Structure 1
Amino acid sequence: MAPLTKPSQAELDRRRTIGINLETVTNVSATEFPGNYPGEDLAWDIDEFRNSLTVKFHKNEQFDASFSLIGVDASIANAFRRIMISEIPTVAIETVYIDNNTSVIQDEVLAHRLGLIPFRGGKDGLRNFIKFWKRPAPDADPSEFPTSFDYNTLKLDLRIECTRKPNPPAGETDPTKLYNHAHVYAKDIVFSPEGRQIEYFSGEDAITPVNPDILVAKLRPGQVIDLEMHMHKGIGADHAKYSPVCTASYRLLPLITITKPIVGADATKFAKCFPEGVIGLEKVTKKMAEQDKAYAPHVGETRATVVDPMRDTVSRECLRHPEFQGKVKLGRRKDHFIYSVESSGQWDSDELFLESVRMLKIKCQKLEKQVKNMIR
């Protein structure tokens, strides 16, 4: 049997690159499996995987994060994305008990608007103290033992009435200056702790809207909104209001390779084919010409150089111009995923990725246990 060989770095880079051509996309199939390349052992190895796996944050703010996940298969990257969208639990308004609503908004529309308002509170209380609420059966007797307790239900109140302000300025037409509570905002919703909830949701940890200025309704004198809301824990797979993210997406790292010199007016035109910041312009020096003989005739001219390919949107605009034919190659790296995660407020953006990793680990442990039981 012939000895196993290892491919060169150039060959590995070729395999990892998706070719972006004028009208086609090439090299999209996965080839990293045993037996695909003769003489190579592509069996999965944990040490090799550990050495190639990289997580690099480009932006890490409370509600917005961008990071690269390098060295995993697309199925794993997509699993993290799907878990962030639909399986990380949050709390949201589930039931609205309307005692009085004389606004122009119908009861069901008002309840729907309230349900989509994102809330935040003490992390320990939301993640550990509050449990999932079990909905009563359709034929359950209302007089039976209730299913709402302090550990699975959060109570909110909204009681507001629009009245006229005394002595408004003559000729004033702004409703906010003519009336009290002309606009009803999310900040008008009041949290009413029950039982042990005061231990977890008080002070800065109290249940409050993520954005207090979300407009709920507009009222005029004599109109009233009087209602009570119950919040429960759920996941995005049940309803979008439980999703902890506004957006969670990823894209592959764009690759731009300049194979022949692009100089002078062509360099300026080439830079305009990409978003700002992707291509830079610099003068060709004697040192550059010594390092790359192709630039020897162009000393003193302006050349195009790749500055930040991550900003590229892969529009292929440069491939449409004949003067750039054979001078540039576009591609995308198969195992470099650039995530963009925007939190809705209950979780910090970077925590969402860590939680998705933890949940995927739990799923794998359950699957391992089931496979072992099946073998027995």
Structure 2
Amino acid sequence: MPTAWGPLTDEQLEERRIVGINAETVTHTSANDIPGHYGPQQDDTWDLDRFTEQLKVDFHQNEPYDAVFSLVGVDASIANAFRRILVAEVPTLAIEDVFVFNNTSIIQDEVLAHRLGLIPLTGGEEGLQWMRWFRKPPPKDDYAAQATFEEEGHDPSESVPSDYNTVVMTLDVECRWATTELDGRDGKALAKAGSTDPEERYVNTNVFARDLVFEPQGGQEKLFAGENRIRPTNPDILIAKLRPGQKIHVRVHCIKGIGADHAKFSPVATASYRLLPKIEIKEPILDADAKKFARCFPRGVIEIVDDAKTGRKKAVVKDTMKDTVSRECLRHPEFVDKVKLGRYRDHFIFSVESTGQIRSDELFLDSVRLLKAKSERFKRHLDDLEEGR
């Protein structure tokens, strides 16, 4: 324990970053960068300059709705805060109220409303940012909730549907028998007599998300014009199946909300992270053992190369990001003393898959802004407590 007599070396500091992966256990799961933990010579107090130097964000994949990036130099609590904010606190637009005028399908009204609510929507970014929250007032008989609603200072106009807080869409589809002539809606030749295919026998037998028609209100005509109109992210989502004589005619109101209120408002399909694996080969693994060692990992993690000194085949680590830390290599006695597995406790590989309303990279920036706002609000409360003493 030389740490009591002086600062930690670079090797020791690097070792503190590693979570140990053993055959049956996981060790060093808790961070130990606590001031005074390693003796008076080691300074572990939090420093802004040091934090800024260590903090890194590197994107590995940045598709519009599927991003993978590394967040390095933060504690697990901060990384998990970003993940929870992504899932539950970034506001998005979704269907909230469904007004059923006619529904003669076999799907009950409440089930139909639930299906419609779960359809992800998208539209012009500028218009979606312009839209405000729609605050539903509490029930009239809930006096405590009403008092809280008033104490929070909500504007009564927030509870009245208008063009800046509510989007209106209509679904009006009726199924009918097909004819042998061209159909005015589809513009294609329809079924011949005796056909058993529902797609040929009937018109509008399937109700898809693309059948939802956006009805702009007020200023929405400019903000959501053309390609910026409010529409389902995936137009091919199947809502219902109909038969001749059945009809669905509903009008829906879409409002902004957060995933903490309902999962339909969550802007992400998945938001997860994992720690970067570390594979350290302590002794050379050669020839047949090298091939066997490579098969213990997913394809692309271990590479077989020619050893310049011996001319033999040797296993080397190629890309640890592809590793799933299966610990398969530790099941073979010949590898137990030759390899050491671990994970970097401060290197998080994030995967953010957007539902289509907000780009994945923008979602992460939104989570940073929200965490910053929460921190500033908490700091103001602390200042108020200090002043009240």
Give TM class, smaller chain.
over 0.9
Query: Does the 8 Å contact 1:132/1:234 carry over to 2?
Result: yes
- TM-score by length of structure 1 reads 0.93
User: What is the CA–CA distance in structure 2 between the aligned matches of 1:190 and 1:6, rounded to whole Å?
Assistant: 67
The 1:374–1:317 alpha-carbon spacing in structure 2 relative to 1, beyond 3 Å, is same
Measured against aligned partners, the alpha-carbon deviations of 1:240-291 in whole angstroms (never above 9, x if no partner) come to 0000000000000000000001001110000000001100101111xxx3xx
Measured against aligned partners, the alpha-carbon deviations of 1:150-182 in whole angstroms (never above 9, x if no partner) come to 111110100010011112223322211221111
Query: Does the 8 Å contact 1:163/1:220 carry over to 2?
Result: yes
User: What is the CA–CA distance in structure 1 between the aligned matches of 2:208 and 2:359, rounded to whole Å?
Assistant: 24
Which stretches of structure 1, 4 residues or longer, exceed 4 Å deviation after superposition? none
For these two proteins, the number of residue pairs brought into alignment is 358
SS of 1:313 mapped into structure 2: coil
Measured against aligned partners, the alpha-carbon deviations of 1:15-72 in whole angstroms (never above 9, x if no partner) come to 0001101111111111112111101111101000111100000100011000000000
Query: Does the 8 Å contact 1:182/1:219 carry over to 2?
Result: yes
1:179 corresponds to 2:202 = yes
User: What is the CA–CA distance in structure 1 between the aligned matches of 2:5 and 2:233, rounded to whole Å?
Assistant: 57
User: What is the CA–CA distance in structure 1 between the aligned matches of 2:5 and 2:259, rounded to whole Å?
Assistant: 47
Which amino acid is 1:351 matched to?
Answer: E
Aligned-residue Cα RMSD (Å) equals 1.6
Query: Does the 8 Å contact 1:67/1:340 carry over to 2?
Result: yes
User: What is the CA–CA distance in structure 2 between the aligned matches of 1:204 and 1:56, rounded to whole Å?
Assistant: 32
Query: Does the 8 Å contact 1:136/1:147 carry over to 2?
Result: no
User: 2:184 is matched with which residue?
Assistant: none
Residue from 320, 327, 342 that aligns with 1:309: 320
Task: Please report how far the alpha carbon of residue 212 of structure 1 lies from its aligned counterpart in structure 2 after TM superposition.
Answer: 0.4
User: 2:152 is matched with which residue?
Assistant: none
Query: Does the 8 Å contact 1:275/1:311 carry over to 2?
Result: yes
User: 2:274 is matched with which residue?
Assistant: 251
Which amino acid is 2:33 matched to?
Answer: E
User: What is the CA–CA distance in structure 2 between the aligned matches of 1:64 and 1:137, rounded to whole Å?
Assistant: 37
Which amino acid is 1:124 matched to?
Answer: E
User: 2:16 is matched with which residue?
Assistant: 15
User: 1:68 is matched with which residue?
Assistant: 70
Residue from 344, 347, 358 that aligns with 2:358: 347
Q: For structure 2, which runs of at least 5 residues remain unmatched after alignment?
A: 142-155, 181-190
Task: Please report how far the alpha carbon of residue 5 of structure 1 lies from its aligned counterpart in structure 2 after TM superposition.
Answer: 4.7
User: 2:101 is matched with which residue?
Assistant: 99
Task: Please report how far the alpha carbon of residue 123 of structure 1 lies from its aligned counterpart in structure 2 after TM superposition.
Answer: 1.0
Moved more, 354-363 or 162-171: 162-171
User: What is the CA–CA distance in structure 2 between the aligned matches of 1:96 and 1:234, rounded to whole Å?
Assistant: 16
Q: For structure 1, which runs of at least 5 residues remain unmatched after alignment?
A: 290-298
Residue from 120, 135, 152 that aligns with 2:165: 152
Aligned ranges for residues 7-156 of structure 1 at < 5 Å? Answer: 7-38=8-39, 39-127=41-129, 129-139=130-140, 147-156=160-169
- TM-score by length of structure 2 reads 0.90
User: 1:369 is matched with which residue?
Assistant: 380
Query: Does the 8 Å contact 1:163/1:221 carry over to 2?
Result: yes
SS of 2:379 mapped into structure 1: helix
SS of 2:90 mapped into structure 1: coil
Identity %: 55
User: What is the CA–CA distance in structure 1 between the aligned matches of 2:222 and 2:10, rounded to whole Å?
Assistant: 57
Task: Please report how far the alpha carbon of residue 341 of structure 1 lies from its aligned counterpart in structure 2 after TM superposition.
Answer: 0.4
User: What is the CA–CA distance in structure 1 between the aligned matches of 2:380 and 2:138, rounded to whole Å?
Assistant: 32
Moved more, 5-14 or 273-282: 5-14
SS of 1:204 mapped into structure 2: helix
Which amino acid is 2:161 matched to?
Answer: S
